Structure 1
Amino acid sequence: MENLLTIIPDSPIVTFTILLLIILTVPPIFEKIKLPGLVGLLVAGVVFGNDGLGLLNAENESVKLLADIGKIYLMFVAGLEIDLVDFRKSRNRALGFGVFTFIFPLIVGTGVGLFFDMGLNASVLIGSLLASHTLLAYPIVNGLGVVGNEAVVVTIGATIVTDTAALLILAICISIHGGDFSLGSLIVQLVSLGIYSLVVLYGFDRVGKEYFRRTGDEQSNQFLFVLFAVFLASVGAQLINIDIIVGAFLAGLAVNDVVGEGPVKEKIEFVGSTLFIPCFFVSMGLLLNISSFATTLTNDLPLTVAIVVGLFVGKFLAAIASKVSFKYNWDQCLTMWSLSLPQVAATLAATLAGVRAGLLSESVFNAVIVLMLATSLAGPILTKKFAGKLKTAQIATTPATNLEDIIEATPEKIAYPEGHDKPNNLFKVIIPIHNPSTEKFLIEMGAILAKHEAGMIIPLCVAKAHIHMDEPELNFAIAQGDKLISRAMKYSQELNVTAKPIIRIDDDVAQGISRSARENDASLILMGWTPITTIQARLFGNLIDNVFWSSHCPVAVVNLLDEPSNIRSILVPVKNIDLKIIKIIRFAAIFAEMNQGSLTLLHVHDRKATRNEINLFQNALQETVAPISHKIDITIKTLRYQDPAEAIVHTANKYDFDLVMLRSVRRRTAGGLAVSDVTTQTIKKLKRSVILLGEPH
């Protein structure tokens, strides 16, 4: 090994290459054995660190820089991902549970620290570490369709209270530890912290909104502005002697409303979760000393057990207090408890800050690592168990007679100015055409939908141009568009459907499609499949991603292997019964009705699900589709399978379905690492015609 180390040059490029190799290969391996990818990065840090292969060093300048950026990014994303809309819906109860789930663990943790003679300042800091929580199990409640349950909304909103309060206590404790404590210095620190928080939360919010308004669609500059904001906030935190993670978290809250749920936020989180945040977790592994860790688990085992048990007990007491105060049932109480258990983002970042300030010992650091492993595993498992029993909101099953009722995307009524009539409600399908080989299938599918609604199709060709309208490339693009439009009109006449062709000049194809859809008051955008083949598409999203983000109406993306008129049997996977899946079922039912076909609804359930739970779901689904079952043959199929994506592919191949209809779902974890959803995995493996239906943001 020593010979190998002498061969490898000691340069930042080599260090960065090793980090990229770890980030690329390790998380998928751990996810295959049902362990979080974050755990894999910690283990990789130990393996490649001084106690292992010795290829990485925590004191290396490149590692320290990437780790600091990752730590800032981690706390920034934690603030950015907090849903302020949900928080505002149940503000009072969220504040109440936030206080409960902060105070009880704080008291328990402080008691643990004092019991082990750590001093009041360090003990309070340990208590604050236990008080925060990371919504690691959010994808689980989202997948179960219970995000709208008040207990879940309250727990999500409480994250603002716990993380903010924990980081403020961290700032105060480190400040007290760094100098002579006095009431005057504490007051100065609190006042400066208050002024700083107001400047970040309100100043960054206002400046950000004005900048985004002025820059319009310039996503690259907006991305750079957000990065500048978070690092400026971190520098400001250092100037008033508080940890940089406090500034990063406040910056995340400040620009939360500014970026919204759009492509800029997607890019921000993609860059962080792909590169910088994993580097932070690898660096945490590098700091782990195996001999010291083993000593902690043997000599300091009581401390480790006390911290872990104290966390579980403190969070449980907070959930009980909320149950009594807000009259929740036991399923809601236990769901709140399990959701608030995981300790990842704020806890690890704050612990590292405490250790580097000399306030916390290495034994506490090792105990917190054990706490992170225990809660990141137990939290999601318990959440899946308890949240699955929550009652979901009742969904109206009133039959829809036309597609316009089904895919209506704007529930609120719009007030139009006096003298302006409401836009024509004629059903319109925008069909962007670019590839001659798929044009006929798209026009035919659009015609099927338009005929059912007595509507029309709008073949659209976008010619890309920037400033100069006399560019030869633009002339060529318009000529190609004319050919595609002529062919589209020919197909429309053959199919006897009304068509209104458009050639649009725009500097961005995705924006051109979305703008045309809005200008023509389209009801649906029907697109062909665009594979991700370029590096740019992987980094910044492909055409489909960008249309999903910017469109005002639903988007149906199709990848057809046969003519639409030949599609008879349709498979729709159903995980939960919610409004979005009902729209997809009815969309598929109309398509099946027009082709005199059949519809199969597939529910893949957990191996641990009881027969009674399966029957309850089947009955609820049967009741949901009852209004449309008299028009077409609908079959409900349930299947026990470990991997839902494999189950869908297996069923589609075994029963030779012509078409599989899926919903577009994007998931993230609050820790920053993206999780591949079932839809993504299914599309990769499926060799059938596919329709992917996405809702507008």
Structure 2
Amino acid sequence: MIIASEVKYSVEAGLLLLGFAVLLGPILAERLRIPGLIGLIAMGTIMGPYVLEWLRPGGFVATVGAAGLLYLMFVAGVELDLKEFMNRRTQAVSFGLLTFAVPFALSLAVGIWYLDLGANSAALVGAMWASHTLVAYPEAKAAGLDRNPAVGLAVAATVITDVLSLVVLAVASSSATVDEEAGTASAGESSTLPLWLGLGLLVVFCFVVVPKATTWMFAHVLHARTERFMWALTIMAAGGVISLLGGVEGLVGAFLAGLGINRNVPGRGELMERIEFFGSALFVPAFLVSVGLSIDPAAAFDPATLWLAVVFTAVVVVGKSAAAGIAGLVFGLQRNEVAMMTALTIGQAAATLAVAQVGISTGLFDEKIFNAAVVAVVFSVLITSFGTRAVAKLIGPPTTDASRLGDHVVAVAPATAGTAETVARLATAVANDDGGLVTPLAVATKTIPKERAAEQLESFEHALVHIGHDTDGVVRVAATVQSGVTQLAEEAGATALLLPVPHERLVLELGLGDELAQIGATAQVPCIAVAVGDMAITRVVTLTGDTRAITTAEDTRLALDVARRVAHGLVVPLHVLVAEGTEQPLVDAEATFGSYRVRSGTTVDLVEDGDLLVVPAHVVADAGLVPAEVLRERLEHRSVMVVADIGRLASVRTPRYPLAGMVAAPR
């Protein structure tokens, strides 16, 4: 049956065929025990212009596929563990340069001495294979390795290699034109801005404008998740457009835009789930199907083309493996990490096809090189898919990093609505350092009606949303507050508990009260008790206490970490008071230092107006006696946080007045 072209190539037909391809491709692939993305590419080839002719390169599916590539890079930027990346930034940049330089040099040699190409053409061959596309990133993510250091290095290297490849493309093909049918724009004279200006504008937009604008919009305008999701898509597109203005592929801008919005999208939050769902359901599969549209099976089986494709594939495998191996030796990486970096960076698609398209459209390549490049892309996709899946099994499931205190903070809703905003800001300050999530919790018991618990939760959740955090609250019905909090913490995989305490109870009476002390004794994660005063916080002050015992030293480490996070989150100074007779601790932040005497039974004159006092649990338990009227005068309007390691918060229950025994001393 002959179908009219207006129907055959309509949006409706394209959407129908894309739906079938996305549904059937992975199912058939899994039946054959091959990665699902191979099935998607195969469906694109079968439905494409060289087989059934149901889809064409410039049609609806190709357009959605181009958006899918942007989305893939955007999600990689949003999910990148920025803390781990900053800790390994030297490794990331070095590996990016290595994984570009080694394949580029090998490709250049092949172009000049094997293919007998000129300098410009050989440089384009180098640009094709020096870059890489994270085709197998979904495989790594499915294995729970999206925060693995090796995956982070490969993701960061993607931007470096793509930018460098596109710089080579811009220089080598300054007369290149835009192939509108394929939807590919070259970097050269056709760009609106000079490359240096375009990249500068892109960096300023993604790392200055996007974070500030997103934080403000989330806090003041965009409170619904649908609105925040559309904002994320808009930021992604804006990054891509600014990239194109400077003659750089849009995927670079999409990735950098993802980095810019990274800290506003908690990794475990509902907004991240929506971003991932939309990409995995439509955009990323459409990109893989669109890759299949470029594959001509007849050309792939031509002996000369096939041999050249094998040569290109060997260049990629050897070059990327050598780069990862060198990086592994220099930085002392494990073998499995090197293998994962190699497997991920072998993948070729986006930048490679863009360079190949420019090469043939400008006459720098012939059909043989172009067809061989497309076949080599298919080979690389097969290798990266199988390789990533195999290495992921060797690495095994991810383990929890105990140092990531803010990965998932479960915060109990304060009973007083007036303190909700301050508690929310403190909780998010602890979580944001790790790109983590705050889950507000209210517990209903026989003595706390469910309606009252729901009201407390609503007030707290409202405060979190209106400071820009993405969160979903939980009302837990339990026999006791202690059982409700500890059970949810275990079920949700919490990394810290934040427990509001009535200010008078913590500062002026005997400690936490029975229920919170029980939580501190039984919870399997660090606990932070918070008493909110009515004075605005203008400085964070923390005390080290006696750190000679292992348990007290861990309390102090956690207290210093919390103080650093809060000072950074609230943008206020950090002041560290060191107990006499102990060493000054290392603090990963700008801070001032002083000293104090332990158990002196003197005053609390160290505390100034506007201070937030962050203390380890053992400092409270070991404090000397101070008259209640003195404590009331010095601490009544100020906020206090007590930080304790697992099982240590119960030590605050002591017949001594807390926060005492401090006197200033010169240091």
Q: TM-score range by the shorter chain?
A: 0.5 to 0.7
Could you say which residue in structure 1 is the equivalent of 2:242?
A: 236
Q: 2:68 aligns with which of 67, 70, 80?
A: 70
- Relative to structure 1, the CA distance from residue 259 to residue 408 in structure 2 (aligned partners, 3 Å threshold; closer, same or farther) is closer
Q: 1:303 aligns with which of 295, 304, 308?
A: 308
Q: Is the 8 A contact 1:208 1:258 kept in 2?
A: yes
Q: 1:376 aligns with which of 381, 384, 404?
A: 381
Q: 1:225 aligns with which of 231, 247, 250?
A: 231
Q: 1:267 aligns with which of 255, 274, 286?
A: 274
Q: Is the 8 A contact 2:50 2:297 kept in 1?
A: yes
| Superposed displacement of residue 280, structure 1 | 3.0
- Relative to structure 1, the CA distance from residue 49 to residue 364 in structure 2 (aligned partners, 3 Å threshold; closer, same or farther) is same
Could you say which residue in structure 2 is the equivalent of 1:129?
A: 128
Could you say which residue in structure 2 is the equivalent of 1:91?
A: 89
Q: Is the 8 A contact 1:71 1:349 kept in 2?
A: no
1:193 aligns with 2:198: yes
| Superposed displacement of residue 103, structure 1 | 0.9
Q: Secondary structure at the match of 2:194?
A: helix
Q: Distance in 2 between matches of 1:408 and 1:314?
A: 36
Q: Is the 8 A contact 1:177 1:359 kept in 2?
A: no
**For structure 2, which runs of at least 5 residues remain unmatched after alignment?**
179-185, 412-418, 424-440, 499-521, 526-667
- Residue-by-residue CA offset, 1:97-139 (whole Å, 9 max, x unaligned): 2221121111112222233134333432332332333455667
Match for 1:279: what amino acid? A
- Relative to structure 1, the CA distance from residue 187 to residue 29 in structure 2 (aligned partners, 3 Å threshold; closer, same or farther) is closer
Q: Distance in 1 between matches of 2:149 and 2:250?
A: 33
Q: Is the 8 A contact 2:408 2:493 kept in 1?
A: no
What are the within-5 Å matches in structure 2 for residues 567-646 of structure 1? Answer: none
- Residue-by-residue CA offset, 1:321-359 (whole Å, 9 max, x unaligned): 224322446555444433432334554565556656665
Q: Distance in 2 between matches of 1:408 and 1:66?
A: 34
Could you say which residue in structure 2 is the equivalent of 1:458?
A: 443
Q: Distance in 1 between matches of 2:195 and 2:401?
A: 51
Q: Is the 8 A contact 2:291 2:349 kept in 1?
A: no
| Superposed displacement of residue 187, structure 1 | 13
Q: Distance in 1 between matches of 2:258 and 2:406?
A: 33
- Relative to structure 1, the CA distance from residue 409 to residue 52 in structure 2 (aligned partners, 3 Å threshold; closer, same or farther) is closer
Could you say which residue in structure 1 is the equivalent of 2:211?
A: 205
Q: Distance in 2 between matches of 1:101 and 1:116?
A: 23
Q: Distance in 2 between matches of 1:391 and 1:68?
A: 33
- Relative to structure 1, the CA distance from residue 251 to residue 190 in structure 2 (aligned partners, 3 Å threshold; closer, same or farther) is same
| Superposed displacement of residue 157, structure 1 | 4.2
Q: How many residue pairs end up in the alignment? A: 449
Q: Distance in 1 between matches of 2:443 and 2:164?
A: 54
| Superposed displacement of residue 408, structure 1 | 11
Could you say which residue in structure 1 is the equivalent of 2:623?
A: none
Q: Is the 8 A contact 2:130 2:165 kept in 1?
A: yes
Q: Secondary structure at the match of 2:346?
A: coil
Q: Is the 8 A contact 2:236 2:257 kept in 1?
A: yes
Q: Is the 8 A contact 1:116 1:303 kept in 2?
A: no
1:501 aligns with 2:450: yes
Q: Distance in 2 between matches of 1:548 and 1:109?
A: 49
What are the within-5 Å matches in structure 2 for residues 456-605 of structure 1? Answer: 458-459=443-444, 501-503=450-452, 504=454, 514=473, 523-524=485-486
Could you say which residue in structure 2 is the equivalent of 1:561?
A: none
Q: Secondary structure at the match of 1:458?
A: strand
- Relative to structure 1, the CA distance from residue 516 to residue 38 in structure 2 (aligned partners, 3 Å threshold; closer, same or farther) is same
Match for 1:325: what amino acid? V
Structure showing greater radius of gyration is: 2
- Residue-by-residue CA offset, 1:644-676 (whole Å, 9 max, x unaligned): xxxxxxxxxxxxxxxxxxxxxxxxxxxxxxxxx
Match for 1:254: what amino acid? G
Q: 2:100 aligns with which of 81, 98, 102?
A: 102
Q: Secondary structure at the match of 2:86?
A: helix
Match for 1:45: what amino acid? G
- Relative to structure 1, the CA distance from residue 164 to residue 264 in structure 2 (aligned partners, 3 Å threshold; closer, same or farther) is farther
Q: Distance in 1 between matches of 2:410 and 2:475?
A: 21
Q: Distance in 2 between matches of 1:366 and 1:184?
A: 26
Could you say which residue in structure 2 is the equivalent of 1:293?
A: 300
TM-score for the superposition, normalised by structure 2? 0.55
Match for 1:290: what amino acid? P
Q: Which structure is richer in relative contact order (CA contacts within 8 A, separation 6 or more)?
A: 1
Could you say which residue in structure 1 is the equivalent of 2:601?
A: none
Q: Is the 8 A contact 1:35 1:377 kept in 2?
A: no
Q: Is the 8 A contact 2:65 2:287 kept in 1?
A: yes
**For structure 1, which runs of at least 5 residues remain unmatched after alignment?**
398-405, 413-419, 424-455, 460-488, 493-497, 528-546, 555-582, 588-697
| Superposed displacement of residue 88, structure 1 | 1.0
Q: Secondary structure at the match of 1:255?
A: helix
Q: Secondary structure at the match of 2:443?
A: strand
| Superposed displacement of residue 310, structure 1 | 0.6
Match for 2:14: what amino acid? T
- Relative to structure 1, the CA distance from residue 20 to residue 315 in structure 2 (aligned partners, 3 Å threshold; closer, same or farther) is same
Could you say which residue in structure 2 is the equivalent of 1:532?
A: none
Could you say which residue in structure 1 is the equivalent of 2:13?
A: 14
| Superposed displacement of residue 308, structure 1 | 0.5
Match for 1:287: what amino acid? S
| Superposed displacement of residue 178, structure 1 | 4.6
Q: Distance in 1 between matches of 2:148 and 2:108?
A: 33
- Relative to structure 1, the CA distance from residue 52 to residue 153 in structure 2 (aligned partners, 3 Å threshold; closer, same or farther) is closer
Q: Percent of counterpart pairs with the same letter?
A: 28
Q: Secondary structure at the match of 1:523?
A: helix
Q: Is the 8 A contact 2:442 2:474 kept in 1?
A: no
1:35 aligns with 2:46: no
- Relative to structure 1, the CA distance from residue 186 to residue 502 in structure 2 (aligned partners, 3 Å threshold; closer, same or farther) is closer
What are the within-5 Å matches in structure 2 for residues 113-192 of structure 1? Answer: 113-114=111-112, 115-135=114-134, 154-175=153-174, 177-178=176-177, 189-192=194-197
Match for 1:65: what amino acid? T
- Relative to structure 1, the CA distance from residue 377 to residue 395 in structure 2 (aligned partners, 3 Å threshold; closer, same or farther) is same
Q: Distance in 2 between matches of 1:345 and 1:81?
A: 20
Q: Distance in 1 between matches of 2:13 and 2:258?
A: 32
Q: Is the 8 A contact 1:149 1:391 kept in 2?
A: no
Could you say which residue in structure 2 is the equivalent of 1:652?
A: none
Greater shift in the superposed pair: 96-105 or 224-233: 224-233
1:279 aligns with 2:279: no
Could you say which residue in structure 2 is the equivalent of 1:247?
A: 253
Q: Secondary structure at the match of 2:176?
A: helix
Match for 2:342: what amino acid? W
